Amino acid sequence: MKAKILKAARKIFGQYGFHGTTTRMIASEVGIDISTLHYHWGEKGDLYEAVVLDIHDDLRKKLVEVEGIIHGRPLAERMEIAIDEMTGFLFDHPEISNLILFRYFGKTRHKSA
């Protein structure tokens, strides 16, 4: 259940940012009662931090993968492959780009972000 909630939270936070998201929206996306969400994740800030850490882990894994692909190639080729790989990854996971934009360029920021 925690994984389902985390996946839904990534989607909803990615669409609306921290301040535009409610725990009710996330619970509704999963199809659970809000008390179930709070049982598994506590407060909205706790869930948001878990989403940020989850995204960080996904980005790190992708960067390690890309590093393995480009290792030993000429610089121009490494740059082209890295840009293509990361751009494709971000298009496949739009919530990542959106959360980065919300987090760093939004007018308001969640204090623990």
**pLDDT 10s digits, 84-110:** 999 999 999 999 999 988 878 775 555
**pLDDT 10s digits, 44-91:** 999 999 999 999 999 999 999 999 999 999 999 999 999 999 999 999
- Answer left, alpha or beta for residue 73, where phi above 0 means left and psi between -120 and 50 means alpha: beta
Domain ranges in the chain are 2-105
Q: What CA–CA distances, in Å, run from 26 to 9, 23, 29, 30?
A: 6, 5, 5, 6
CATH class of 2-105: mainly alpha
Contact of 30 with 8, CB cutoff 8 Å = yes
User: Could you tell me the pTM of the whole model?
Assistant: 0.84
